[in-house]
Structure 1
Amino acid sequence: MKRLWEQVPLKGQVMLFSSLIVLLSLLILSLFVAHNQTNNTREYLAEKVQLSASHVAYNSLVQNSLKAGETNQELMHYIEIIREENDLLYIVVMDTNKIRFTHPNSEQIGRTFVGTDAEQVFSGEKYTSDNVGTLGPSMRAFHPVWDNEGNQIGAVSVGISTDAIANAVLDNQKILIMITTISLILGLIGAWTLANHFKKTLNGMEPKEIALAVQERNSMLEAVNDGIIAINNAGEVLLANDAAQQFLKRTGYQGPFDHTPIDLIWPELKLQEMLMTTSTDTHELIKKGDVETVVTRVPMYVNHQCVGALATFNERSHLHDIVRHLIGAEVYAHSLRSETHEFMNKLHIIQAMVETESYEELKDYIEDLSERYHMKTASAASQVEQLVEDVSISHYLAKRIGWLEQMGVHVHIQSGIPWPSMSADFIDIWVTVIGNTFDNAWEAMQHKEQKNLTLTLKQVGGVLRYVIEDNGIGFSANEKQQFLTSTKKGDHGYGLANIKKKLQPLNGTLDILSEKDKGTIITIHIPYTERRQEND
């Protein structure tokens, strides 16, 4: 039943629910009113027959006939007129022996009145009762008749059929039913109008669709790496995704977020200023404590009315990492284009020599290419291609080594089992590691007369080992701790914290050995076999 109800559209649910409320209310009201109407109708008819009985009892024709001890045509005619005018079942005038002087059925005149409820009237009481007489069930009123001296000389009984009572009640209830039906129709029209208003307010969406949209929105907000903060037009925080909350807590704010003024959380953001403008501020540098962020701020409008403002941001250091990755990819792409172009030129030359049958020249040309290739492989940069099977990493590493060699750095490479081809996430991590460690090494050695760098690439027991050793200026233990916890740009050691963060999900390790003016050794281990099996 619950599933069936959930399948009913919102408009139908509102109409059904509202209609049931209206119907139930009208039903209770109708029962209450019908009960009151029934009682009121019976009371009215009882009063009517009692009044008729009283009126007949004090009539002189009745009193004279009872004194005479016999009926007459004038009395019977008078009584019949009253009965018909008041729509009564009967009017019976009887003496103290209950002998009828009048009756609608002339055959009953002179006979004894039927019913045990007539005894009290001869004790001088007037009352009403329900009983069955010769004309069927009826409500009967009794009234004593006295002469001028106050002696009781007879009684009057006036009856009205219970069918007449039921018809009177039914007539009243028909009116009530009609009013109830009209009210129900009006309630349905109101429910339909209300349902349409709800649908319009909810942009035609069903409750399930709204709930799903909210869940999807929350999932998307939490999946975004950028921090997102939204405020209402009062400057209070409506939304702060997990990335934003973690960043703000890490930079010092420990209070609540929902409906907290943005000035209390991040006053430097000045997000409330966007409530007064229609323009957008993009890629603006704003600090939170000592951390620089790149922020985009936009006002939010609904139906041409500003309802709040939104800010998206990321740490500047994270964006530098992304730039480094892009640069590495660009270098690799440029290298591929250059080598492809060079290879095609050599093929054209070989093709031309073959077509002109210049075989001697072709032989000399191939020998020259071979000699130049062997000369090239003698450099440290060219050795990388044999130590790393993954083309992306080998080209990127070769370019970085080649650049250092051009800057006068003597690079020595040590190797064991070559590195295998890797998945995209590993390539991204190693580009970060190589880029940061090479930058740190060059920064430490650039003012040295003799610049030496030793690079070790090995695979031992399913673990990738990367060791880079320079003879630079080195750093102290305090500086080492600072570099591992800070991403602030400008100091030697920048990027070590980013490397450490990258290694944590992969169970990688980072070891640093450094002495002032003697150099630095950075050792990195990443389990790769286990990781690759999980991906497979």
Structure 2
Amino acid sequence: MNYFFNRLSLKVKLISLICLVFILSVIAQNIYIIHVVNDEYLNLSRQRTENIATIISTSDSIIETLQNPTANNLDFIQNYTEQARTFAQVDYIVIFNMQGIRYSHPNKDKIGQLIVGGDEQRALQGESYTSIAKGTLGDAIRAFSPIYNKQQQQIGAVLVGQTLQKINHLVARTSQPIWLSLIASLAIAILLASLLSRNIKKILYGLEPLEMAQLFEERDAIIRTVKEGIVVINREGCITQINNEARRILRIEGKKENIIGQQIADVIPNTRLYEVMMTGIAEYDCEQNINGVVILTNRTPLFVNDSLVGAIASFRDMTEVRSLAENLTGVNRYADALRSQSHEFNNKLHVIYGLAFNNNKQELIDYLEEIIGNKQAESNIISQAIKDPIVAGFLNSKFSRARELGVSLSFNVSGILAPIPDSQVTHSLVTIFGNLIDNGLDAVQFLDNKQIQVNLSINEEAFIFEVNDNGEGISEKDMQHIFKKGFSTKGDNRGIGLYLVVASIDELNGHIQLCDQINKKGTCFKVSLPLKQLYRGKNCHGRRTDC
């Protein structure tokens, strides 16, 4: 049975359902109406027979003739009651004496006989009332009224009857238009159901319910299995869809059913999904930190038939992506550092070769001592304070790059930075140091007096990194945009460095600011990173080296 019903088309289902509901409701309504009409006819008949019985029982002519029941008077009574019956449109009017003998009846053969029905005794006792009883003409509503003479002595009674058969006939005639309206309404309902099903199928692109269910299951399976987090909101900013990957990436607790219907701002703060929906402007490839997780997200408004209905966000966990990107960035910076050192050493080797070839022994010794002494001094500055070999080696490489550009680079270090166990944190530091120092080198490379001062401070709580240069500085109008992705004053296809710096700092829960440069040219960036984030919960502080 269920299989047969499921195989029916949407049109047949709608027509069947609407017709069934309509027929049942109209039939019930008509039965109720017929019942009300029948009760109304009974009440009207009861009231009319009572009124007619009262009028006839108080008629002076009836009272006078009933006191003297001669043949002429009995004919008068019969003629009077028949005229009254025809005028009042009742089935019979019977006048009988105190012994229950009829003096009038529509059937003259019944005159002189005892009244039947068994409900006349109360009338002979002086009571006016109505009843339903079976007389000679069948079941009827019977109204009784006693007749009194001028001395207030009861001399008989009058019975006015309306058969139930006639009442039922009137009810049937009244219900005919109702049943005809039912048939007409049913035909209209079938037509409207057909039009409605056609319109619904048009809205549903001609799909049947089974096809829609299959599409829904396929869509749900796709959303569950994709490796991107997906979140959908409606016009009110409530979540209508969220897959397991999104909950896993964003570390959202609770069942999916408990999340659906909640405000996006309450579940996932700072998503900008609601803003994208309100503005109607899509945002692509945006990095964002949500609940401590860095994601790469695309946010687009949802339109259905050119109407804005919500917005959708798809995103990936940036841990692996950023790790790869930072590895590539680190490799590029390591390669650049090695290139600078290689270039510097090649130059020095050429000098050493020339001095050795010309047998300038003393000059060669002096030159080597100078090189070794400078290298040792530079290395001591970094290695005594920075115990992480990657960070220390990278910072030492910047001396070679500075000498290559003719820039005076100096480091001022206080405190001790222990080795960092997490390679991702190390790559983040390389990204931060490399971009800020390289920006300083770019800012001063065309000056006569090229100076960069780097201050490193490690205390119990934070690692503070400060880069000062004596370049042209940053204009006030550019200060609002320097950390935005793609913004650069150096030309097109730039503006990534400071954006990566801010992203790396955000991941480490640190902050960056432009230092005040009162009456001083150049630019100063100050970065503060909490040590507990650098060591990912390990009990390591700036003055320890045993982590």
TM-score w.r.t. structure 1 length?
0.51
* Residue correspondence of structure 1 range 79-478 to structure 2 within 5 A: 79-178=81-180, 180-181=182-183, 195=197, 198-199=200-201, 201-233=203-235, 237-249=239-251, 258=260, 259-261=262-264, 265=268, 267=270, 270-275=272-277, 280-283=282-285, 294-314=296-316, 315=318, 317-318=320-321
Rounded to whole Å, the distance in 2 between the matches of 1:192 and 1:48 is 50
Secondary structure of 2:308's match?
A: strand
- Counterpart residue number, 2:422: 482
- Counterpart residue number, 2:48: 48
Rounded to whole Å, the distance in 2 between the matches of 1:126 and 1:270 is 86
Moved more, 253-262 or 61-70: 253-262
- Counterpart residue number, 1:31: 31
Contact 2:146 2:157 (8 Å CA) reproduced: yes
Per the TM alignment, residue 83 of structure 1 is displaced from its structure 2 partner at its CA by 1.9
Contact 2:268 2:290 (8 Å CA) reproduced: no
Secondary structure of 1:144's match?
A: strand
Per the TM alignment, residue 304 of structure 1 is displaced from its structure 2 partner at its CA by 2.3
Rounded to whole Å, the distance in 2 between the matches of 1:264 and 1:133 is 82
Per the TM alignment, residue 150 of structure 1 is displaced from its structure 2 partner at its CA by 1.7
Distance 1:31 1:318, change over 3 A: same
Distance 1:316 1:82, change over 3 A: same
Per the TM alignment, residue 106 of structure 1 is displaced from its structure 2 partner at its CA by 3.0
Alignment-mate amino acid for residue 42 of structure 1: L
Secondary structure of 2:90's match?
A: coil
Moved more, 39-48 or 176-185: 176-185
- Counterpart residue number, 1:2: 2
Contact 1:317 1:488 (8 Å CA) reproduced: no
**Per-residue displacement from partner, 1:441-495 (whole Å, max 9, x unpaired)?**
xx99xx9xxxxxxxxxxxxxxxxxxxxxxxxxxxxx977x63499987979xxxx
Alignment-mate amino acid for residue 165 of structure 1: I
Distance 1:107 1:311, change over 3 A: closer
Secondary structure of 1:149's match?
A: coil
Contact 1:71 1:101 (8 Å CA) reproduced: no
Contact 2:230 2:314 (8 Å CA) reproduced: yes
**Per-residue displacement from partner, 1:417-453 (whole Å, max 9, x unpaired)?**
xxxxxxxxxxxxxxxxxxxxxxx9xx99xx9xxxxxx
Per the TM alignment, residue 228 of structure 1 is displaced from its structure 2 partner at its CA by 3.6
Rounded to whole Å, the distance in 2 between the matches of 1:263 and 1:40 is 62
Rounded to whole Å, the distance in 2 between the matches of 1:171 and 1:25 is 22
Contact 2:249 2:293 (8 Å CA) reproduced: no
Alignment-mate amino acid for residue 169 of structure 1: V
Per the TM alignment, residue 81 of structure 1 is displaced from its structure 2 partner at its CA by 1.6
Contact 2:250 2:293 (8 Å CA) reproduced: no
Contact 1:237 1:262 (8 Å CA) reproduced: no
Distance 1:178 1:254, change over 3 A: closer
Secondary structure of 1:117's match?
A: coil
- Counterpart residue number, 2:510: none
Residue ranges of structure 1 left out of the alignment (5+ in a row): 325-439, 448-476, 492-536
User: Taking every aligned residue pair, what percent have the same amino acid on both sides?
Assistant: 26
- Counterpart residue number, 2:80: 78
Contact 2:323 2:424 (8 Å CA) reproduced: no
Secondary structure of 1:93's match?
A: strand
Rounded to whole Å, the distance in 1 between the matches of 2:321 and 2:156 is 116
Contact 2:247 2:253 (8 Å CA) reproduced: no
Rounded to whole Å, the distance in 1 between the matches of 2:90 and 2:236 is 78
Per the TM alignment, residue 31 of structure 1 is displaced from its structure 2 partner at its CA by 3.3
Distance 1:194 1:135, change over 3 A: same
Moved more, 89-98 or 230-239: 230-239
How many residues of Structure 1 are paired with residues of Structure 2 in the alignment?
337
Moved more, 225-234 or 146-155: 225-234
Per the TM alignment, residue 240 of structure 1 is displaced from its structure 2 partner at its CA by 4.1
Secondary structure of 2:146's match?
A: strand
**Per-residue displacement from partner, 1:47-66 (whole Å, max 9, x unpaired)?**
22232222222223322322
Secondary structure of 1:141's match?
A: strand
Alignment-mate amino acid for residue 66 of structure 1: L
Alignment-mate amino acid for residue 107 of structure 2: N
Per the TM alignment, residue 202 of structure 1 is displaced from its structure 2 partner at its CA by 4.2
Moved more, 191-200 or 25-34: 191-200
Rounded to whole Å, the distance in 2 between the matches of 1:207 and 1:486 is 56
Per the TM alignment, residue 45 of structure 1 is displaced from its structure 2 partner at its CA by 1.6
Rounded to whole Å, the distance in 2 between the matches of 1:235 and 1:115 is 79
**Per-residue displacement from partner, 1:379-422 (whole Å, max 9, x unpaired)?**
xxxxxxxxxxxxxxxxxxxxxxxxxxxxxxxxxxxxxxxxxxxx
Alignment-mate amino acid for residue 23 of structure 1: I
Distance 1:163 1:309, change over 3 A: closer
Contact 1:229 1:311 (8 Å CA) reproduced: yes
Alignment-mate amino acid for residue 60 of structure 1: D
Contact 2:239 2:263 (8 Å CA) reproduced: yes
Rounded to whole Å, the distance in 1 between the matches of 2:117 and 2:266 is 94
Rounded to whole Å, the distance in 2 between the matches of 1:278 and 1:212 is 31
Rounded to whole Å, the distance in 1 between the matches of 2:150 and 2:264 is 98
Alignment-mate amino acid for residue 6 of structure 1: N
Secondary structure of 2:151's match?
A: coil
Rounded to whole Å, the distance in 1 between the matches of 2:154 and 2:211 is 86
Rounded to whole Å, the distance in 2 between the matches of 1:233 and 1:226 is 23
Secondary structure of 2:104's match?
A: coil
Residue ranges of structure 2 left out of the alignment (5+ in a row): 328-389, 398-417, 432-547
Rounded to whole Å, the distance in 2 between the matches of 1:232 and 1:94 is 85
Rounded to whole Å, the distance in 2 between the matches of 1:289 and 1:31 is 65
